[in-house]
Each structure stands twice: as structure tokens, then as C-alpha cells.
Amino acid sequence: KSTRWDSKENESKQLPIYRHKAKLVQAVKDSTFLVVTGETGSGKTTQLPQYLHEAGICKNGKIGITQPRRVAAITVAQRVAQEMQCTLGREVGYQVRFDDCTSQDTVVKYMTDGCLLREVLADPVLSQYSVVILDEVHERSLSTDILLGLLKKVLMDPANATKGRSFPLKVVVMSATLEADKLSAFLSNCPVFAIPGRTFPVTCTFGTAVGPKDTESTGYVKEVVKMALDVHTSEMAGDILVFLTGQSEIERACDLLYEKAETIDYRYDVQDQTVEGLLILPLYGSMPTDQQRQIFQPPPSGIRKCVVATNIAATSLTISGIKYIIDSGFVKQLNHNSRVGMDILEVVPISKSEAQQRAGRAGRTSAGKCFRIYTKEFWEKSMPEYTVPEIQRTSLTAVVLTLKCLGVHDVIRFPYLDCPEERFILGALKQLYQFDAIDRRGKVTRLGELMVEFPLHPGLTRALLKAASLGCEDLLLPVAAMLSVENIFIRPGHPEKQKEADKKHRALAAKSGGTNDFATLLSVFQLCKSSDRPSAWCKDHWIHWRALKSAFSVEIQLKDILHRLQQKRDFPVEKFDGNKSELFRRCLCTGYFTNVARRSVGKVFCTMDGNGSMVHIHPSSSLFDEEVELNWIIFHDVLVTSRVYIRTVCPIRYDWVKDLLPKLHEVDAYELSSVARQ
Ligand code: ADP
Ligand code: MG
């Protein structure tokens, strides 16, 4: 054995979970449901699956472990593969949306909760699994909540528990915080295994930068950077973990840190002489995984590590050596916005329990400090006690369709851990009806059965299926792929470079006609794909090569799903006479007629979904400066700042949506749930 492995093995023997190995394995064997709790970093995610594997549980079937975040699934799988000394994708693998790194040999499978939900669709009793571990349940992600309800429904009924299976399925529910009692009560008072944790005290201080009125979240990046530099120059050795909300903010903070760190004069104010430099490491969801690996490595001696991360570092990933936390007090969250009637990614204050969790990251191995940049008043007046579960604040359209396809017709009385508001369920039913995925009685249509196969927003799926029925899916597949990856247009931030990038992007838009952002996406996809040196082409046009590469792969996967469905006999076929540009835009209309806006005055548009919101075209759109008569448009999504901006815009003709628009108001949502209410 190599020394490296020995040290890893010793490391894992020191984790709090290790002493409870035998009892834990027994507890899993003894009951259908088991709740496991323990402090973040105690070893639940990385060790328990290995213990179960060692105990021979995999002879019946795989061990599946879900994570709400894709980065967590990938990173943890990498780590466990390393600990088990196997190649990632063999015994240990992962699967996230559009990225499957598993094989026939995979017995320990990390995956996103969304992926497991899709597997339930194909195989409701999960016959390939011996154990399913729902991890990070305290995060209360939409898919995890639905899986909890589904597994409860299936396994609590003894007739179901063994149907289609030769051995009983075991379900472990893991959570970092104090939700254990609630979870156990939900799962018919199943046993709870609490792993005693070791934590050290963390001293928290409040700042002055963000007060209760600072809901516009712009000033705090600078403040966070200042705080990090203060800590670096005045505090004893120990690494820093900074919490911000997203990629662009994190990159900006890192840039500022690089600039400033170079100008620190170490002759003054530096109490700890070992501190000579600062190693600045960003950490966010869409980062390349080889870069992420650096986060876990100890810094070179005499160097202080400063990780600037999203909320992912709060519970899903544990970074060792952290002694100082700098908390911005904000998080990016998907919320249903009733003003515009849509789900919007917003920056909002974190909850108090979230703030405590963040602070706790400093006390893993010794006493730590947490510097909050917000005031005590902000804490008292602007931060809620707990984070509202996703199921109670986002659109349920995709999930309700999934439930219906699983035969759960009464989606109102489904066993939810926390019930969503009825209006959210009704809203989902209404939208499914608008997309022809369910009929007036709430029954899934043939189209709905096709739609559920795609891991995309139902509207986008609707447009794609329309295109496929007209034989022009080649127009929509790349668009769907491009909208499923991170933004492909690089925004360098630096004013000179930004000008150059803008010029290139405008030229790309002009190539596709200059008036349709969806067409620009299609054209970028095609131009790059047909280029001899695609990465050089991207560099030249200020396009994200990594994002575009993912889009290529996503397009192939979507095409595979579509081709599989097209081989079935009753795949719809339609005819269309007209030019290609119109065909393309009319396909888009079938999926985006819920997002139609009409010119109101000047550059202000008004949405036609019944909300009548006033919206503006975002400056990133090629239609931003458009002087031509632009009366009717459709758009992909919305960004809310002081104004409501719409992004990815396409001009349409009223004729094309005339027959679709009435659908928005045609049916009373209660009527759709009537089946459920009988
Ligand atoms: P829990 O799930 O209870 O929060 P984990 O199993 O995630 O705990 O982590 C246990 C330990 O493994 C932590 O000390 C963490 O630092 C370490 N660890 C986890 N993932 C990695 C990784 N990718 N590289 C290095 N260390 C890791
Ligand atoms: Mg964990």
C-alpha cells in the first residue's frame, strides 16, 4: 500500500462516524427507513456508503446517494473513488443531469436528487438498488422532498414494499441539522441515529456594512474583500472561507483580492509572522472540477488559503483548515415572483439558521471566528428564522407532471413533508394544461408522457416536440442545449475588453439576422461546431468554450432521447408551409406563449399572461437597440433589479399566438384538480 493511501485511511478513521460503523450498518439493515444526523464534516456522505459496501450490501443491488447539488455529487464521488482506490466511473461513479459517469460495475452511485427522480419514473420500485440514501435533506430541495414523499408512499404500503423486487429496499435519510424529529415523525416514527459531533466554539461579530434597508445587494462584495484582507493581515494562521452568492460576484471578489493582496505591506499589522501570502480560490457550481480539487488541498506552508464560495461550502462540501468565516449574509435563491408570475433567481438575505450553519464551518478543528458584514439590526429585521423549503417557493410544473406520470393523480393530497400552497399546485396544473400535457380532467396526455422524458423546462420541451413533429428538430435541439448550460457569452468586466467582446457578440448576432436571440444561440452553436479549431474560434469571439462544449454534449443527449421517442409508433407528425425563419419562431411560440409581451409605450413592453407586468428588454439582447417596429415578442426568462428585464428575446407576429393566448385564461385551475377532489 502506498503511504498516501495509508494517510487517507487514517484520516477517515479519525472522523466522528468511524466509531459507530458497526452499529450504523446494523441500523440500516434493521429497518426500512433510518434517519441519520450528524454535524457537517462528520463523515456521513463519504463514509456511510463505504461501510455499507464493505458489509456486502451491494450483492443485492447498488447503493444510491442523492445530493441536491451537482458539484457535490461529482466532488464526493471523486473523493470516495480515491479512498476506495478505484477509477471513477467503475465501482464508484456519479450521475448528474447531462453527465453520466457510471458503468455496469458501478455499485456506489452518487447522483443528484433530480436524477434519482427520473429513475423512479422508469422503475418505480428502484429494483436496481439495495439502499437509497437521501443526503442533505435539511436543504429541502424540491426533488428531495418529492422523493421523500414517493418513497414513503411506496414503502409504507406493505403490498408495494416487495412488489417487483426480490429483496426489500432500505432508505436512509441524512441531515446535518435538527430536523431529525420531524423527519422521523414523517416516516412513521422510524429510528434516528445521531452521530455525536465534536465542534469548537465560534465567536461571531456583526459589522456595519449592510443594514436592514440594504435589500439591493450591490455594495457587499467590496466590504467582504476588505474584511478578508483585514483578517489576513491581523489574525493568526488559519484559512478563510468567504460566502458570496454566485459566480460573477465571486470572480469579482477574487479579482479585487488579487489586486489588493499584492499591495499589502507585510511590515505592519501582521501579527502572525508565518503569514506571507494569500492563496485565493473561487468555488462555485459550474467550475471545472480539476480546479475544484485544489480547494481541498492544504496550502503551501506559510501561505493562507482564502476560499471564496457560494452556499455550497455551507453543508455539502467540507473544507478542512478553515478558521475564519466571512459572511455576506446573502444567498441566491429561486423564488416564485408573484409580480411577474414566474420563477426568478434572486439574491436574498439568508436565514438565521443558515447564518449559524455558515459560522459553524469555522469551528471544525479548533475554535474559530465568524465575521458578519451585516448589522445586528439586519439580523433581527431582515433575516428569517429558517429557510423556506423550495417546494413552497418555486414553480411545481415539472414535478406535478412527474407525479402524474407516476400515477399520483391527487397531487394536492400527496404526502408532502411541508405542503406547498395550493395556488402553486393549481398554477402547475394550469400550466400543464396550457402546454397540452394534461387534459381538462387532469389526466396526462400522450404529449405529456413524451414531455416528461426531457430534463428541461416544460415550455422548452413543448417547443422542441413541436419542432420534432414538423421535422425541424435540428433548429430547436441546439437552442434547448444552449439554454441548459451556463451563459456562453463572456463578460470580461474590464471596460476595454468589454467593448471588444460586445462588438464581437453583436457581429455574431448580426450574422443570424440580428433580431432574434434564439437564432443567435443557434448560429453560435452551428458556427463553432463547423469550425476547424472550435476552441480558438471561441476565444476569438469571446465565447465560453467550456460552456459550448457542454452544449454540444447536451444536444447529443437530447437528440438521443428524442430519437428513442420518435421510434414509437404514435409520435405526432405535422406539416407546415412557410419559410424557415417563420417555422423556427412558430415552434418557439408553442412553448413560450406563456411569455408573450406586447409593446406598450416607447421601449416598455407589457406581458400578456394576465399579470400585465411592465418589462424592458435586457441590454444583452440584440433587440435592445432595435429601432424597427417591434410590437410582439416572446422571451426566455426574466431578471429583476430595479426594473423587470427580459432576456433572450424573439420578435413574433400576433397571428402566431392568437389562437394560443386564449388558452392562458380558458380554464379554471380548480376544474383541473377536480379529479383529485372527488
Ligand atoms: P458529512 O457528510 O458528514 O458532512 P463528509 O463525508 O462530506 O461529511 O466529509 C468527511 C470528511 O472528508 C471531511 O473532513 C472533509 O474535509 C473530507 N472530504 C470530503 N470530500 C473531500 C474531498 N473531495 N477532498 C478532500 N477531503 C474531502
Ligand atoms: Mg454530507
- Cell 444567498: give the residue: 331
Q: Which of 46, 110, 361 to mutate to test the pocket of ligand 1 (most atoms within 8 A of CB)?
A: 46
Residue 618 confidence class, pLDDT cut points 50, 70, 90: very high
Q: Which residues line ligand 1 (CB under 6 A)?
A: 15, 38, 40-47, 75-76, 78-79, 296, 318, 320
d(CA 377, CA 359): 18
Sequence-separated (6 or more) residues with CB below 8 Å from residue 236:
271, 272, 323
Identify the residue whose C-alpha is closest to ligand 1 atom 25: 296
Mean pLDDT along residues 523-546: 94
Q: Which of 50, 79, 292, 294 to mutate to test the pocket of ligand 1 (most atoms within 8 A of CB)?
A: 79
261 CA to centre of ligand 2 in angstroms: 33
State pLDDT tens for residues 199-214: 889 999 999 888 877 7
Query: ipTM greater than 0.95, yes or no?
Result: yes
Mean pLDDT along residues 3-14: 65
- Cell 478578508: give the residue: 228
The size of the chain, in residues, is 678
Tell me how crowded residue 653 is: count the other CB atoms within 10 A of its CB.
13
Model pLDDT, residue 262: 62
Q: How far apart are the first and last CA of the chain?
A: 65
74 CA to centre of ligand 1 in angstroms: 13
51 CA to centre of ligand 2 in angstroms: 15
For the residues of 547-584, what is the DSSP string, one character each?
HHHHHHHHHHHHHHHHHHHHTSTT-------S-HHHHH
pTM (predicted TM-score): 0.89
Tell me how crowded residue 129 is: count the other CB atoms within 10 A of its CB.
22
Instruction: Please give the C-alpha separations between residue 621 and each of 506, 509, 561, 640, 645, in angstroms, as whole numbers.
Output: 9, 9, 30, 15, 10
The three-class DSSP label of residue 414 is coil
The three cell numbers of residue 286 are: 459550474
The three-class DSSP label of residue 287 is coil
For the residues of 604-642, what is the DSSP string, one character each?
EEEE-SSS--EEEE-TTSTTTT--S---EEEEEEEEESS
Asked if residue 343 has pLDDT above 50, the reply is: yes
Residue 248 confidence class, pLDDT cut points 50, 70, 90: confident
Ligand number nearest to the C-alpha of 321: 1
Could you identify the atom of ligand 1 that is nearest to the CA of residue 195?
A: 3
Identify the residue whose C-alpha is closest to ligand 1 atom 23: 79
The three cell numbers of residue 27 are: 441500523
The three-class DSSP label of residue 87 is coil
The three-class DSSP label of residue 443 is coil
277 CA to centre of ligand 2 in angstroms: 31
Model pLDDT, residue 7: 60
State pLDDT tens for residues 282-340: 998 877 777 777 888 888 888 899 999 999 999 888 898 999 999 999 999 988 877 77
Ligand number nearest to the C-alpha of 294: 1
State pLDDT tens for residues 32-54: 999 999 988 899 999 999 999 99
Ligand number nearest to the C-alpha of 292: 1
Share of the chain above pLDDT 70, in %: 93
State pLDDT tens for residues 113-134: 999 999 999 998 899 999 999 9
43 CA to centre of ligand 1 in angstroms: 6
76 CA to centre of ligand 2 in angstroms: 9
Asked if residue 263 has pLDDT above 90, the reply is: no
Could you identify the atom of ligand 1 that is nearest to the CA of residue 38?
A: 3
Residue 163 confidence class, pLDDT cut points 50, 70, 90: confident
Ligand number nearest to the C-alpha of 197: 1
